[in-house]
Amino acid sequence: MAAESTECVDKQPARSRVRRWWAWTPLVGLGVAVLAGAALRVGGQRAAAEVIWAAVTVVALLPAAWSMLRSLWRRQFGVDVIAVLALAGALAVGEYLAGAVIAVMLATGRSLEEYAQRRATRDLRALLARAPRTARRRGADGAIEVVPLDRVEAADQLLVGPGDVVPVDGTVDEAATLDESVVTGESQLVQRAAGETVASGVVNAGAAFGMRATRNAAQSTYAGIVRLAEEATAHKAPMVRLADRYAAAFVPFTLVLAGLAWLLSGDVVRAVAVLVVATPCPLLLATPIAIVSGLSRVARRGVLVRDGGSLELLGRARTLLVDKTGTLTAGRPRAAETVVAPGGDRNEVLRLAASVEQLSPHVLAAALVAQARERGLALAEPTDVTEEPGRGVSGRVDGRLVNVGQFTGELPEWANRARARTELAGWSAVWVSAEDEVFGAILLEDPVRPDARRTVRRLRAAGLRRIVLVTGDRPATAAQVAATVGVDDTLARCTPQEKVDRVRAEADRAVTVMVGDGVNDAPALAQAHVGVAMGATGASASADMADAVLTVDRLDRLADAVEIARYARRIAVQSAAVGMGLAVLAMLAAAAGRLPPVVGAFLQEGIDVLVILNALRALRGGLRRRDVAPRTRELLARAAAEHQAVRGVLAGLRDTADLVATDPASPRCLPAVRETHRRLTEQVLPHEAAEDRQLYPALAEPLGSGEATSTMSRAHVEIRRQVDLLGVQLGQTDDGRLRPDQVPDLLATLYGLDAVLRLHLAQEEEEFFTLDPADPVPERR
């Protein structure tokens, strides 16, 4: 069976290649036939040549006529009408070479358009594949059996294993740790106590737990998401080709002119000549070439757009709706700060917590371990490790029993302050305790992507007039992210249905793009004119429902795609307009009898060459960003690495400020202030000076002006001033202790430095460090 499966997989690429080559067969065949007719004509066999050309004309006429009739039956009126009349007219008046040339042009346009359409692969396979097929059901005797999902009924007792998807809606029998981001968009793990409800589709991020089903699979939350996606896809309006929009005016004009030429001259050949030069090859050739060129370019930028229609719509978009988790934010927790009890060691708290968490499968555990390794901490091997769902992990490290997770006892004053700060910031806290006493906490955040704000500005510059944040997260967290990146409106605590409704409402007013990741975004992506999935980190379901997928974990690629799409569409429209303008001049000459059909056909070929060359301009240009020199990239990478060390100084700075605020008379206080001043002087100030001396001048070219970094340089001046002021304040101390009258000024300096440095680092990371968008495949210049 395995060998048979492998053989089938191996055959797929070969079959795909055969289908791709076969799609170009009609064009190649018609081209060879026209050349064969030309060879016969040159050899003096005119009758044989005309037979071949007539056959070519008929071969092109039949499918074109059938396509036109089907379009008319659906009440769609396109440029194919002119092509059919031109082919039929050429046959009627014996202008077989003109008909054959038209046939080749039509086949070329059709082949290019089909090439773009073959990229379309939307379906629901991934969404359905993720849906659970079975469930672990507990029998009357307590035995566990695996049963098909459709056999699960309300009131059944189920067991959900670690990493399992909850199969149906229900209530948990015991505490459970859940990852609900695929359904709600909430990035943080959620603790559900016994008796609380749980929705199908969420993932068990902790130990196994029991639950009681309250609905069967068909009535559960995940099934509803699938139905929403199917419904949105079914009602999504079909794409109207760019060429057909111009047909509304061009086709009637052509028919009236051809009719007048015949009526006034009495010569039907003039009417045929008008139809021949009016054959909309600039529309049928230049438009798909420009669009396919755009598809190729965005693919090199790490954005896969499924078809030309989606790229064209992306180029006309005016409204953007964007999910928060995994889109504007990283979607993965990160240790933002380590808080310790007075007199504690920040690195020791992190080391102990990460050592215990090494064996845990939690995503929070991975964040702690990663943070400890980034700081170069040596983790110990824990023993006696146990994990209690909903509470956390405990284990012995260096002989000491350490608990990491929730803490149910009474928190000391310093811990209450940390908890309040955590709630205000929208973070989560992991408490580190021993013997029922908390001695530290690690604050976790889902950070906003550094490139998010710059990307939003670029999207506005590209023509998007309205940007809306839609998320299942808490209103306070959503508001903070919205303010950081600069959106126009925010809708928090959205259910999948509310997201679909909001997308539908925005789509009724303008061409709308929806960006998201996760299963909960799939219905909204399908409902939007253009759905864009964060495919590098998001759920495969959202990628399958999307019209475009970001294959790299960079949000700025979306701005690249919009700019390229607008440029490609502009080139397509320009090519079509110029080609049609030249065609109109040729039509007037043909109507006056100055242009025979055969000459008109070759003149039309010349016009086609011009517009195709213009359309090929879409292969490059259109991006607003500037290249970053290799030396500047090295400086950016070095500065980014040094920011990690600066953030370590910041952590100690905040601890020192808190110590001065709570216990200024402590003998530890003044040494802590001196150590903070030393680290600021030896680590932070040299870093800022190097940026002023090397990095900022190098950024003048990519930013367009040396003035672009002037505000950052001004921040450096203020940081140095505050550090110098701190040194002066330390020089005024007596007997190794702080005087009470010194405390207010010292606190102002310490907290001021903390605020200025944090803001400065964030601004540099958003404005400068995102300037290095290394191309997945460098563009050809």
Interstrand relation of 319-322 and 428-434 (parallel, antiparallel or unpaired)? unpaired
- Please give the structure tokens belonging to residue 443: 């604050």
Residue 194 exposed, middle or buried by CB count within 10 Å (0-12, 13-18, 19+): middle
136 bridge partner residues = 146, 159
First and final C-alpha spacing in the chain: 50
Helix, strand, coil % in the chain, rounded to nearest 5? 60, 15, 25
CA atoms within 13 A on the CB side of 101: 23
Instruction: Report the distance separating Cα 548 and Cα 466, nearest Å.
Output: 20
Say if CB 351 and CB 372 are below 8 A apart: yes
Say if CB 478 and CB 492 are below 8 A apart: yes
Instruction: Report the distance separating Cα 588 and Cα 258, nearest Å.
Output: 9
Instruction: Report the distance separating Cα 161 and Cα 389, nearest Å.
Output: 12
Residue 659 exposed, middle or buried by CB count within 10 Å (0-12, 13-18, 19+): buried
For this structure, is 323 an active site residue?
yes
Which helix (H) or strand (E) segment holds residue 542: the answer is helix 540-545
Instruction: Report the distance separating Cα 293 and Cα 284, nearest Å.
Output: 15
Q: Return the CA Rg of the chain.
A: 34
Instruction: Report the distance separating Cα 293 and Cα 116, nearest Å.
Output: 10
- Please give the structure tokens belonging to residue 16: 């795909």
Instruction: Report the distance separating Cα 228 and Cα 237, nearest Å.
Output: 16
Say if CB 126 and CB 544 are below 8 A apart: yes
Interstrand relation of 548-550 and 303-305 (parallel, antiparallel or unpaired)? antiparallel
Tokens 């672990």 correspond to 136
Helices 268-278/96-117 angle, 10° precision: 30
Task: Give the closest residue to 301 by CA, choosing from 780, 629, 781, 779.
Answer: 779
Active-site annotation holder among 156, 169, 323, 547: 323
Instruction: Report the distance separating Cα 133 and Cα 151, nearest Å.
Output: 10
C-beta neighbour count of 65 within 10 angstroms: 16
Tokens 């769902």 correspond to 389
Instruction: Report the distance separating Cα 714 and Cα 753, nearest Å.
Output: 14
Residue 761 exposed, middle or buried by CB count within 10 Å (0-12, 13-18, 19+): middle
Task: Give the closest residue to 500 by CA, choosing from 521, 516, 469.
Answer: 521
- Residues recognised as catalytic: 323
